[in-house]
Structure 1
Amino acid sequence: MRAHSPADSMHALDVAALRDPAVTFWSARENGLLIGCGALKQLDPAHGEVKSMRTAVDHTGRGVAGAVLIRIIAVARARRYRRLSLETGADEYYRPAVRLYSKYGFQIGAPFGDYVPDPHSVFMTLRL
């Protein structure tokens, strides 16, 4: 990620931020090996944010990210969020992520929460 985004445009959560009570974190494992992860951050009682979506390099294209995203969407619906948003990079490296999110109904839109317009970011939202 650092190779594809300027430092001032990276919005990944560090370990301390992942421990915030507003964040729920999931890991995907195969035979005990960590192969992917993702998180859901509550922005307000009706709005959540997809965070920290990652797939191990040798497991891309195998449905790991889709499985994690399905879980995040299901939990957001169970929490009765009306909207689920995310920020990802705008570089070509992030095109597969944008395609994945689009496949699950996310649409490109405006910045949300504390984000500001950034040419290195793509903002997406799913109405639930």
Structure 2
Amino acid sequence: MSYQEKRAWIYAVVAVVVPVAYTVTLLVRAPAAGLAASHYVVPMLVAIGGAIVLNIVVEAFAAGGAAKAEKGGDERDRQIGRRGEFVGFYVMSVGAIVPLVLAMREAPYFWIANSLYLSFALAAAVSSVVKIVAYRRGM
């Protein structure tokens, strides 16, 4: 497994585990008034920051065993990376329509923020899955 493929796996796991943990946290701490009344800002910031730190730490650990030449990747790695980011961009672009519509309808901030966070999480997960599939099955 190449270093770039390991990075895609790490990103995929973090892009799924952290939003799921965030969602579980929100559901467990939900007030009787409903989710929209919950205090979501701090848990969301912790989830975002935690995902960034977790990605950095795990990638640094994975990079420890990789040769310097391997980290840069070859042309195939760059093509796979571009393809994954391309698909992720479109998922994010389509997903951003939901918070835009919610803002236009003056929905509670909770739903706007969480739909935007979901868009980012889906884009990251889909981008990683596209890269993993390309590594496993070819382009």
TM-score > 0.5, shorter chain as reference: no
| Bigger CA radius of gyration | 2
TM (norm. structure 2) is 0.32
**TM-score (structure 1 length as normaliser):** 0.34
* Larger RCO, structure (CA 8 Å, separation 6 or more): 2
From the two aligned structures, give the one with the greater helix fraction. Answer: 2
Q: Which has the larger strand fraction? A: 1
